[in-house]
Amino acid sequence: MSQRGKTLKKPVNNQKGAMLLTCMVLIVVMGLAAGMAAQSWTSLVQRNHEKELLFRGESYVRAIQSYYSTPPKGVAPEFPHDLEDLVLDRRGPANVRHLRQLYSDPLTGEPFAVIRGEDGRIRGVRSTSSKTAFRTDAEDLLVSMNGSTYQEWHFKYVPPKSPTPQTASSISSTPTGTAPAPTPAATEISDGGSSGGGSAANRSEPPEEHERSGHSLLGVLPEADDAF
């Protein structure tokens, strides 16, 4: 009886080991699948935040451009002191809104970092996130991508350079065109270098006169033979 019991217990132990191994494999596969799904979800969320970052950053650039390009009458173009000036511009008699609201950084949830010029006025904004961006080209975008991270994306407005006006002296000194060269005068050819002789064109006879002189000579020669 004991020997038969031992022989019956061996298959049961083998089945337990196979089930345990199968469970471990399933746990590993499920863990890998969960990790890949989480990574894909994280990438998807980051891509959506990246698109929102481009939208909000370009909105700030357009607002700064509007603030700079549309000053009140008698006021020189200038950049805003604060981002709040874009939401409510009080420079003129009527308040103007260049931006609907102040946007936060979608990647960090915090306010954008401002980019100021030498005069202390705001030129643009940037993110403070150190994550690596998916997009690497700035074609048709109002952003300067100075690196691979979001904090190196600068949403900055640069006004176009006005042409340098020309002074009166520079205009007068600028050649308007090249005058045509004068036609050289015709040179008369003298006969033998004598001062009293006329030109060769004046001394030459017309073709008709040559023909008439030839006919006259032919008419004279026969008369000379008859005389002898």
pLDDT tens per residue across span 186-215: 444 444 444 444 444 444 444 444 444 444
Q: State the DSSP H helix or E strand holding residue 156, giving kind and residue range, or none if neither.
A: strand 153-156
Whether pTM > 0.75 for this model: the answer is no
Q: pLDDT by residue (tens digit) across 112-128?
A: 999 999 999 999 999 99
Q: Over range 95-110, report the average pLDDT.
A: 96
Q: pLDDT by residue (tens digit) across 139-198?
A: 888 999 999 999 999 999 999 987 665 544 444 445 555 555 555 544 444 444 444 444
List, in order, residues 6 or more apart from 85 with CB less than 8 Å away: 67
Tell me the domain boundaries of the chain.
Answer: 11-156
Could you tell me how far CA 121 lies from the centroid of its own chain?
26
